[in-house]
Structure 1
Amino acid sequence: MNKINWDDLKFFITLYESNTVSVAANRLNVNYATVSRRIDRLEDALKLKLFDRTKDGFVSTIEGTLLYESSVGIREKITNLKEELSPNSRFNQNVKISMVPFLAEYFVIENLHNLHRRFPELRLDIESSSRNVNLSKLEADIALRMELPEKGESICKKLGAIDYVIYGNKYWLNKLANNESVNIITYTTAFSHLQECKYLIKKFSTKAIRVQTDSVSAQKKAASSGYGIALIPRIVLDVTETNFVQPTEEVKRDVWMLTSKKTASHTPKILIMEELAKIFSQELAIRQSALATP
């Protein structure tokens, strides 16, 4: 143990959490060879094999998992110690937030700017993605999702509910109002389990589908271009837009904020989580009520 370079543990922890050397190197801002060399040196010092090298990446051995569970707390203690010893730099940390694209594009980024003005040294790494990031492996510090994870040890907090409306140009909305056949724009098959997708298919059937995409922005663009109607979140509309109606059955989806126990105690993360809770509590209802059905 006396031969261990303790900085190598940072490389080990990062690789354990990311599974691949390339991802670990990117997170650590070093090259591929540096990560590989550090892991080899740590294994030599411990006389243990910490990873099995496979075609799918680096898979931890039992010894690697035991070392991770024993050493991951060191990182948290060092981070907390840095905050205590250098209070002026406690906000100068990268905070990665993962969220579905429409939340980033139409709501969160613009509203988080007030916090950034107060703490300009904060660094936000916003991943706009529908994939479920692994918080326990620190693929993100905070995640905003439209449904709760089926497994994991995330800390979850409900932030609010998003209303959905039927959007389209006047031609298709008139056909809808007259109970005529309409074309629909919805998600790709991979997202057919979503509530908004189920509503459209149940009401209009799969035969009515003309455009499928995994992007709310693309669905909105397709609807405004005349491909048909789409069921989209109310908050993606401009306050001046009137080409939408309420669905016959109310469609709402909850927004959840998820984090892990490993990051929930860090000052920058706490600031951002508190700000996100305030934004959804104060701004979401205002934004949705401003878009009253015409």
Structure 2
Amino acid sequence: MTVQKFTGAGPLDWDDLRVFLELARAGSLSAAARRLRLSHATVGRRLAALEESLGRTLMERRPDGYVLTEEGEGVRALAEAMDERAQAIRRREGGQAGAEAGLGGTVRLTMTQALADRFVIPRLGALRRAHPGLDLEVIADNRTLSLARREADLAIRLARPQRGDLVGRRLATLAYGLYAAPDASDALVAYDETMAELPEALWLARHCAGRRVAFRSNSVQGQLAAAVAGFGAALLPCLLADGVLGLERCPQPGPPLNREAWLLVHRDRCEVPRVRAVIEHLVAIFTDERPRLEGDRP
């Protein structure tokens, strides 16, 4: 398959565009090569051929991977549209089998480790059954991955979006509480100093000042485990701590802490069918579980 080049100097090879698109999604030669089952050299060669054909630099190589240039962003948007149409043709030609398979392709979703492991991933089964051809890549990390640079398609973050090119939808309000083992001392379990500006850390500093901190961690699940082990009281999301054997909710010395969970997507990805399907499923599971998220029940 060939498509006409923007400069009119000849046809483009769809395989070059396909490799470029996967590299843009993956962000690294090694990841793109694994997904495409090609060698690193072939991926690099395909990118070079596409850039030479267009007469434009589409990607910059940086220490942390490949990043799209402004020209690359434009080419990616067109290549994404072509990929969606190609998948629609395959489904149409597949007849009933294609209809049953539903959407295809990969959607990359990023969120914190605790939210991914304890809440979202266990509730993705219905999405899998509805769209068995859809592949999900969940990047469970506390880092803020960039939607603008296509490090992920969707992000769940505990903050309202600030960028104008991101579309945000509030999923739920997450309630927090102080939890401790029944025989725990008056000490605290808290974040380490690298997380001192988080709302949870600021709340503890404001309302629990003067109490000994017996355990610190940059991991919410680590703090949960430390609280169960008896190190002290930890300020934890109710969705994570309610119902955990060996923990009980303690009286709080200040007003309750709540944080908003937002689903973010880059504006030009909102209507991509496979991304839209994941958005709708995530909205549904957060809506269904709202009482638990808000701390109303275990």
Both structures adopt the same fold (TM-score exceeding 0.5): yes
Instruction: Describe the shift of the 1:43–1:272 C-alpha distance in structure 2 as closer, same or farther (beyond 3 A).
Output: closer
Moved more, 228-237 or 261-270: 261-270
Q: Deviations over 1:141-198 (max 9, x none)?
A: 22111113433511100011111111111233xx5xxxxxx32212222221111111
Q: 2:71 maps to which residue?
A: 66
Alignment of 1:111 with 2:117, yes or no, is no
Q: Secondary structure at the match of 1:185?
A: strand
Instruction: Describe the shift of the 1:49–1:251 C-alpha distance in structure 2 as closer, same or farther (beyond 3 A).
Output: closer
Counterpart-to-counterpart distance in 2, 1:54 and 1:93:
26
Q: 2:4 maps to which residue?
A: none
- Tell me which of 284, 289, 294 is aligned to 2:296: 289
Counterpart-to-counterpart distance in 1, 2:56 and 2:276:
37
Q: 1:92 maps to which residue?
A: 104
Counterpart-to-counterpart distance in 1, 2:158 and 2:64:
29
8 Å contact kept, 1:90–1:268: no
- Tell me which of 171, 175, 185 is aligned to 1:159: 171
Moved more, 119-128 or 244-253: 119-128
Q: 1:178 maps to which residue?
A: none
8 Å contact kept, 2:32–2:43: yes
Counterpart-to-counterpart distance in 2, 1:56 and 1:162:
33
Aligned residues: 280
Per the TM alignment, residue 223 of structure 1 is displaced from its structure 2 partner at its CA by 0.9
Per the TM alignment, residue 18 of structure 1 is displaced from its structure 2 partner at its CA by 5.7
8 Å contact kept, 2:17–2:79: no
Per the TM alignment, residue 24 of structure 1 is displaced from its structure 2 partner at its CA by 4.0
Counterpart-to-counterpart distance in 1, 2:141 and 2:73:
28
**How much identity, in percent, do the aligned residues show?**
26
Instruction: Summarize the alignment of residues 220-231 of structure 1 with structure 2, pairs less than 5 Å apart.
Output: 220-231=224-235
Alignment of 1:79 with 2:80, yes or no, is no
Alignment of 1:42 with 2:50, yes or no, is yes
Counterpart-to-counterpart distance in 2, 1:126 and 1:53:
24
Q: Give the root-mean-square deviation of aligned CA atoms.
A: 2.8
Q: Secondary structure at the match of 2:145?
A: coil
Q: 1:21 maps to which residue?
A: 29
Amino acid in structure 2 at the alignment position of 1:66: E
Q: Deviations over 1:9-50 (max 9, x none)?
A: 333344456664334434544332122211232344345555
Q: Give the TM-score, by structure 2 length.
A: 0.81
Alignment of 1:12 with 2:20, yes or no, is yes
Instruction: Summarize the alignment of residues 271-282 of structure 1 with structure 2, pairs less than 5 Å apart.
Output: 271-282=277-288
Counterpart-to-counterpart distance in 2, 1:187 and 1:14:
37
Moved more, 146-155 or 127-136: 146-155
8 Å contact kept, 1:4–1:45: yes
- Segments of structure 1 that go 5 or more residues without pairing to the other structure are 176-181
Q: Give the TM-score, by structure 1 length.
A: 0.82
Q: Secondary structure at the match of 1:30?
A: coil
8 Å contact kept, 1:95–1:268: yes
Q: 1:209 maps to which residue?
A: 213
8 Å contact kept, 1:83–1:90: no
Instruction: Describe the shift of the 1:149–1:131 C-alpha distance in structure 2 as closer, same or farther (beyond 3 A).
Output: farther
Counterpart-to-counterpart distance in 1, 2:222 and 2:250:
19
Counterpart-to-counterpart distance in 2, 1:244 and 1:281:
24
Instruction: Summarize the alignment of residues 172-183 of structure 1 with structure 2, pairs less than 5 Å apart.
Output: 172=184, 182-183=186-187
Counterpart-to-counterpart distance in 2, 1:206 and 1:11:
57
Q: Deviations over 1:223-282 (max 9, x none)?
A: 111111110001112536451124231111100001123332233322221121121112
Alignment of 1:194 with 2:206, yes or no, is no
Instruction: Describe the shift of the 1:28–1:209 C-alpha distance in structure 2 as closer, same or farther (beyond 3 A).
Output: farther
Amino acid in structure 2 at the alignment position of 1:244: R
Alignment of 1:258 with 2:264, yes or no, is yes
- Segments of structure 2 that go 5 or more residues without pairing to the other structure are 1-8, 93-97
Amino acid in structure 1 at the alignment position of 2:81: E
Counterpart-to-counterpart distance in 2, 1:165 and 1:38:
53
